[in-house]
Chain A
Amino acid sequence: MRTAEILGGLVVLAVALVAGTQAAGMTYLVEGVPGPGFAPVWAALLMAVCGVGILVEAVRGRAEGRFATGAAAWRVPAMAAAFALVIWLVPYLGMLIACGLVTVVLALLMGERRWGLILAGAAGAVVGVYVVFQYWLQVPFPRGFLGW
């Protein structure tokens, strides 16, 4: 867990470094008044100080939080990847089918095997999204190869 804490601190430092470098290229003061770079420089500096603090805490052994191990450890990346795939497929499938698909895939990844329940959930998602967003709020969803 300490490794994760240290990695977290390093990521905070890295983000601060990138933001600080970008902000340094912006004008700091314009006629005595903060320019576009003023606030970002200070925010990046604050983040960098915090990154150092987090690293010191991590090295001192202050470890919090727990990541899953074993089969459960793969569930989160698999769910994130499945969600990404469905977002990528939205222009081809249409939003409504994508909603049904994401329900089925995520339910399966979470270990659900009762197909009746999964299909009922997917149908509920599609009907709910259609009624609330497409019919009531008139949101122009992307339509897929089936035309809906």
Chain B
Amino acid sequence: MDTFSNLLMGFSVALTPVNLLFCLIGVVVGTIIGALPGIGPSAGVAILLPITFGMSPVTAIIMLCGIYYGAMYGGTITSVLINVPGESSSVMTAVDGYQMARKGRAGAALGIAAIGSFLAGTGSVVVFTFLAPLIARFALSFGPPEYFALMVLGLATLSGLTGRSVFKSLAAAAFGLLLSFVGMDIVTGVARFTFGKPDLLSGIDFLPVAVGLFGVGEVLASSEQPVELEITRADLSLRKVFPTVADWVRCRWSILRGGIIGFLIGALPGAGATMASFISYAVEKKSSRHPEEFGKGAIEGVAGPESANNAASVGALVPLLTLGVPGSATTAVMMGALMMYGLHPGPLLFEKNPDFVWGLVASMYIGNVLLVILNVAFVPAFVNVLRIPPTILQPLIVVFCMVGAYTLDNNLFDVWLVLLFGVLGYFMKKLDYPPAPLVLALVLGNLLETSLRQSLIISGGSMGIFVTRPISALLLLIAAVVILAPVVRFLRGARRTRAAHA
């Protein structure tokens, strides 16, 4: 079947009433999660994952993806109206979006963000539709060494690019790997790191860890200073939300540039929507004829980053679905979810489960249409959600974390794990240890070890297999550069400091 017939088949899956309903629920919940400060898409997907246990895999992943890209839309609302980004990928939006709101142009900021996100998001889905099958076909030739190298690259880039200290990011990744080894070794049957606890024999599932780190950890951190949000009064009627012709003329290239930057950056493991929006903002400022307006309410400063973060969320699905290697915390949680449903992300997914893959792709077209309607016509309704006091909202998030973790195995042990990782998540946040490498390593750990073992069986125990095969050698070289560059910078800085003191 060619791409068009696959896509048509995908629409026949995505347009069933139940899938449409859960796509709508996903994008609405995603918009709310994106709008609420202190809870990001990773937490939202992890916390709501247990709700999908009774659904078919395609319905479940349509809803989870809806939450993911819906959150990118929702983050704009708080950035513009209260100067508090709903999540990190909307930080740059706050710079000019809030200034626009102060000048009485909140509607235009939200409108251009929604429409730019729609155009860039839909454009990215079109690129994804044609690019993903090609990558998947290419990846079919990958063997265990290439997969091992890919996973090392994914972990290295995420660790090298998140957080301010590469040592802290790598420590988090190493801890995630160690957690993934807990339980019975699948090859030899030896119990590892179980400390005599029968509950640990089956290993530590990623869900309580992700829910604890992203959900409870965030609640604990933000509970130190619960602040009621003061929302800027703004006319958000339909007429005010539609951009003017002048706005369109100023933003058309920003949206295109943001979309391209977002898709490319999003597809890189470790980079993600936040970096895409930062780069897009910098590019817009540099290419503008009026750079002095940036920071004072330039509409391109909203259109570019918002288009970029939405395109990045689609780009991030490329390595997940075609190679089976997630590049961000949210896609790592989604990979864990796919494995729970008995699906194995990677090139074979396109051959073995075409209805799933193409149903998901088609749902993203539908989801983007639903989101632009919701974010243009129903912004005031989402603003009302922000009026729920955090002193009530955050306990409700804890309740959802507690019940969701229990649902995994109907076992209170998982709820204790949520608390444990929640406290760990709090300290990690306070000391700037990024949680994303930990979750990614936990999800990938067993696959990484299996690929390593398979590679060494093929080579008869020689590590040379990783450097004699060109693709794995190249991937490992890139991984080494990504990790070693900050370490070299750190050592040079230390030498310079010593020289200055001498």
Q: What is A's interface to B at a CB cutoff of 8 Å?
A: 4-5, 8, 12, 15-16, 19, 22-23, 26-27, 29-30, 32-36, 38-40, 43-44, 46-47, 50-51, 53-54, 56-57, 60, 62, 64-68, 72-73, 75-76, 79-80, 83-84, 86-87, 90-91, 95, 98-99, 102-107, 109-112, 117-118, 120-121, 124-125, 129, 132-133, 136-142
Does B223 sit within 8 A of A, measured CB to CB?
yes
List residues of chain A with CB within 8 A of the CB of B165.
53-54, 57, 62, 64
Least Cβ–Cβ distance between A118 and chain B, in angstroms: 7
5 A-B pairs whose Cβ atoms sit less than 8 Å apart in the complex: A73-B224, A80-B422, A87-B415, A106-B394, A133-B403
List residues of chain B with CB within 8 A of the CB of A79.
219-220, 223
Whether the pair A57, B167 counts as a contact (CB closer than 8 A) is: yes
Which residue from chain B places its CB closest to the CB of A45 in the assembled complex?
Answer: B174
List residues of chain A with CB within 8 A of the CB of B216.
83
Which residue from chain B places its CB closest to the CB of A126 in the assembled complex?
Answer: B399
Least Cβ–Cβ distance between B224 and chain A, in angstroms: 4
Pick from A87, A107, A139: contact of B416, CB below 8 A.
Answer: A87
Whether the pair B190, A26 counts as a contact (CB closer than 8 A) is: yes
List residues of chain A with CB within 8 A of the CB of B497.
60
Does B392 sit within 8 A of A, measured CB to CB?
yes
Interface membership of chain B positions 154-175, coded 1 if the CB is closer than 8 angstroms to chain A and 0 otherwise = 0000000000111110110111
Least Cβ–Cβ distance between A99 and chain B, in angstroms: 5
Whether the pair A43, B431 counts as a contact (CB closer than 8 A) is: no
Which residue from chain B places its CB closest to the CB of A98 in the assembled complex?
Answer: B402
Task: Identify the 10 closest CB pairs spanning chains A and B, nearest first.
Answer: A32-B461, A53-B167, A112-B391, A106-B395, A50-B171, A47-B174, A68-B224, A36-B185, A121-B392, A43-B177
Whether the pair B54, A76 counts as a contact (CB closer than 8 A) is: no
Whether the pair B394, A110 counts as a contact (CB closer than 8 A) is: yes
Whether the pair B402, A87 counts as a contact (CB closer than 8 A) is: yes
Determine the main DSSP class of B at the interface with A: helix
Does B381 sit within 8 A of A, measured CB to CB?
no
List residues of chain B with CB within 8 A of the CB of A90.
412, 415
State A75–B221 Cα separation when bound (angstroms).
Answer: 10
Pick from A34, A47, A73: contact of B452, CB below 8 A.
Answer: A34
Which residue from chain A places its CB closest to the CB of B168 in the assembled complex?
Answer: A54
List residues of chain B with CB within 8 A of the CB of A75.
223-224
Whether the pair B220, A76 counts as a contact (CB closer than 8 A) is: yes
Whether the pair B490, A53 counts as a contact (CB closer than 8 A) is: yes
Pick from B175, B221, B395, B422: contact of A47, CB below 8 A.
Answer: B175
Least Cβ–Cβ distance between A46 and chain B, in angstroms: 4
Least Cβ–Cβ distance between B353 and chain A, in angstroms: 24
State A91–B449 Cα separation when bound (angstroms).
Answer: 38
Which residues of chain B (123-140) have a CB below 8 Å from chain A? none
Which residue from chain B places its CB closest to the CB of A48 in the assembled complex?
Answer: B174
Which residue from chain B places its CB closest to the CB of A35 in the assembled complex?
Answer: B188
Whether the pair B456, A34 counts as a contact (CB closer than 8 A) is: yes
Whether the pair A99, B171 counts as a contact (CB closer than 8 A) is: no
List residues of chain A with CB within 8 A of the CB of B339.
none
Given contacts A64-B432, A68-B224, contact A129 B399 (CB under 8 A): yes
Given contacts A46-B170, A50-B168, A64-B164, contact A107 B449 (CB under 8 A): no
Does B457 sit within 8 A of A, measured CB to CB?
yes
Given contacts A8-B433, A32-B460, A137-B53, contact A110 B390 (CB under 8 A): yes
Which residues of chain B (335-360) have a CB below 8 Å from chain A? none
State A132–B399 Cα separation when bound (angstroms).
Answer: 13
Which residues of chain B (372-425) have a CB below 8 Å from chain A? 389-392, 394-396, 398-399, 402-403, 406-407, 410, 412, 415-416, 419, 422-423
The count of A-to-B residue pairs whose CB atoms sit within 8 angstroms is 199
Whether the pair B167, A50 counts as a contact (CB closer than 8 A) is: yes
Whether the pair A40, B178 counts as a contact (CB closer than 8 A) is: yes
State A98–B406 Cα separation when bound (angstroms).
Answer: 13
Whether the pair A103, B456 counts as a contact (CB closer than 8 A) is: no
Whether the pair A84, B396 counts as a contact (CB closer than 8 A) is: no
List residues of chain B with CB within 8 A of the CB of A118.
392
Does B226 sit within 8 A of A, measured CB to CB?
yes
Which residue from chain B places its CB closest to the CB of A66 in the assembled complex?
Answer: B430
Does B427 sit within 8 A of A, measured CB to CB?
yes
Whether the pair B178, A102 counts as a contact (CB closer than 8 A) is: no
State A46–B226 Cα separation when bound (angstroms).
Answer: 38
Interface membership of chain B positions 434-463, coded 1 if the CB is closer than 8 angstroms to chain A and 0 otherwise = 000000000001001100110011001100
Does B466 sit within 8 A of A, measured CB to CB?
no
List residues of chain B with CB within 8 A of the CB of A67.
430
Whether the pair A107, B432 counts as a contact (CB closer than 8 A) is: no
State A67–B431 Cα separation when bound (angstroms).
Answer: 9
Least Cβ–Cβ distance between A98 and chain B, in angstroms: 8
Whether the pair A32, B456 counts as a contact (CB closer than 8 A) is: yes
List residues of chain A with CB within 8 A of the CB of B391.
107, 110-112
Least Cβ–Cβ distance between A114 and chain B, in angstroms: 8
Whether the pair B175, A65 counts as a contact (CB closer than 8 A) is: no
Whether the pair B398, A44 counts as a contact (CB closer than 8 A) is: no
Whether the pair A80, B453 counts as a contact (CB closer than 8 A) is: no
List residues of chain A with CB within 8 A of the CB of B220.
76, 79-80
Given contacts A32-B460, A72-B224, A83-B398, contact A137 B449 (CB under 8 A): no
List residues of chain A with CB within 8 A of the CB of B181.
39-40, 43
Which residue from chain A places its CB closest to the CB of B448 in the assembled complex?
Answer: A39
State A111–B53 Cα separation when bound (angstroms).
Answer: 35
Least Cβ–Cβ distance between A4 and chain B, in angstroms: 6
Pick from A4, A8, A26, A80: contact of B419, CB below 8 A.
Answer: A80
